[in-house]
A = this chain, B = another copy of it.
């Protein structure tokens, strides 16, 4: 069964909450109503008005300090001075495009390709993860000669027309493309006892066959290897490999969407796909790549990319410009210099251990799982039925906000807290987060 939700709207301010706001906040929400398109949604019944960020912390207009356990864009920490100064320096000398020669794009490409499997040896740059995934899907089409793209049942891959049509997480208002095939996500918690790798590989073949029966030739499988929007489902390292073998056997490509798991977050590896020992055909990156400066990338096997580039021109005006590359290079440098991958593994494990104490203590905490500093905390009605408890998850989000801890939910049922702090999150922050969670859970009993 495929469940489609509108996960993105579950945790937002609505006009009927306006009476709960102080005057200054209400003035801002009113201004937003007046000036911005209706697509703009704010987190929380009482939205947070932020004015400052540093490392893993954020401050609101009242001077209150928040622990950020949600934002992976400011991956190496809000306002990291290495990025600020690299951008500032480059902005003062030159910012132009890639039709002129410049070293930045080349030195960055050398560095980033060194983190990839050897076969993934060509780089391209865009400004957003959506742009990278849009291009990746077009490459899948040109390489395979097919149009069918398989994604997981609650996947989110972008805002463009093409990627939105492959993003069931956007809910039923956004029609999926007839060329999109949904595959059940590997819900390890509920698959207990089954071999997730074989199960998922079988689902993959079934979906490919089903699309083929409908006259849709398979082009590829696009997934974020930690299934972030499906509820953060890391699974055991390696379990994805059999499904990827099926993808290749059927002439498709595997697009590793690393917008969420990439850049050292999972701790076990620099890239999410690397946890599984997979060599993707195309890797896409976005959010954490420039610590907030819009920059994204697409890295591919030469022959796969050539199937597109030989035919179709592609030029992205801002993509790979010297300032974007300066930001990206600074991020990569900090990840290495501060050894954030090991840090993510160690602190992530410590956090996971503490969260497991809460799991043991509360009947409603069904599952806690993660890789590095990417953790899913799943709320259920009871451990026996494992029935998703969305209302509790949304209530917790608000209670955590009151305790100055910022996060949000994920999963088709919206019942999983998505704990994905900047990698600047430290062991000494665990008490704040786990304490706030403990108190909040206690308050719901």
Contacts and interface: CB of A to CB of B under 8 A. Distances in A.
Interface string A320-339: 01011000000000000000
Interface stretch (A129-137, A194-202, A241-249, A364-372): A129-137
B316 A99 contact: no
Given A95-B292, A323-B292, A113 B53 contact: no
Contacts of A115: none
Interface in A331-385: none
A50 B99 CA distance: 10
Contacts of A127: 127-128, 131, 294, 318
Interface in A382-423: none
B313 A32 contact: no
A192 interface: no
A443 interface: no
A96 B122 contact: no
A101 B28 contact: yes
Interface in A14-72: 25, 28-29, 31-32, 35-43, 47-53, 58, 71
B91 A83 contact: yes
Work out how many copies of this chain go into the complex.
2
A161 interface: yes
A298 B311 CA distance: 30
Contacts of A306: 38
Q: How large is the interface on A (under 10, 10 to 19, 20 to 34, 35 or more residues)?
A: 35 or more
A4 to B, nearest CB: 12
Interface in A96-118: 96-103, 105-106, 109-110, 113
Contacts of A171: 313
A93 interface: yes
A94 B318 contact: no
A121 B34 CA distance: 8
A37 B101 contact: no
Nearest to A124: B37
A314 B91 CA distance: 30
A128 B316 contact: yes
A189 B162 CA distance: 38
B79 A93 contact: yes
A431 interface: no
Contacts of A71: 96-97
Interface in A168-188: 170-171, 173-174
A99 B44 CA distance: 9
